[in-house]
Amino acid sequence: MADHLEASVTLPSDPASVAPARTYAVGTLAEWGLPADADLSETVRLIVSELATNAVQHTFGQSPTFTVDLVLDRDERLRVGVTDSHPRFPKRLPAAVQQDNGRGMVIIRWLTAECGGKLRVRPTREGGKTVSIELPWTVPSRPAAPEPAAAAVARGTRGGDGGAERRRPLGRAT
């Protein structure tokens, strides 16, 4: 595998884009050697779901798109981030007992800590923000037979126009 792998997809800030964001992330991890049924894959799926949902719900229509970025460094560290163009940083919202909202960042923090990772929120040069997690990377020894993530995203959205993506291995193959 290369020393450094990157993948990203930009999707419309619409609730219908959350599922393709999850599919893209898990498909990319499978292409990088992590089976879809691995614990880390499930954790990333849930984290991307929460981050994408936050990017859609809490930007108040001021971010027309959001971007999911995945970066794998030296087969040791996985970074997953969601970037939107709204300047407000996440803050803890009251979670009503009978409601299904207000718990996303708590879930993300807990899952990240449980995996021995870190959570970061950083402003972008354009005035938005990126909420990202960094997790240790380990791949089980069994091989995976992944479907290309781009095909899965296209299949999971209306008309196959789910978003723009880019992937690029950087560095030398090891």
DSSP string, 13-60: SSGGGHHHHHHHHHHHHHHTT--TTSHHHHHHHHHHHHHHHHHHHSST
Contact call for residues 67 and 10 (beta carbons, < 8 A): yes
Digitized pLDDT (tens) for each residue of the chain, 174 residues in all: 678 999 999 999 999 999 999 999 999 999 999 888 889 999 999 999 999 999 998 776 788 999 999 999 987 999 999 999 988 877 665 655 545 666 788 889 999 999 999 999 999 999 999 999 999 987 666 555 555 666 666 655 444 445 556 555 544 444
Any idea what the CATH number is for the domain that residue 131 is in?
3.30.565.10
Q: Write down the pLDDT at residue 8.
A: 98
The β-bridge relationship of strands 118-123 and 77-84 is unpaired
Partner residues linked to 71 by β-bridges: 6, 79
Gap between the terminal Cα atoms of the chain: 6
Count structural domains, the chain: 1
Domain that holds residue 13: 2-173
Q: Global pTM?
A: 0.75
At 158 the pLDDT is: 41
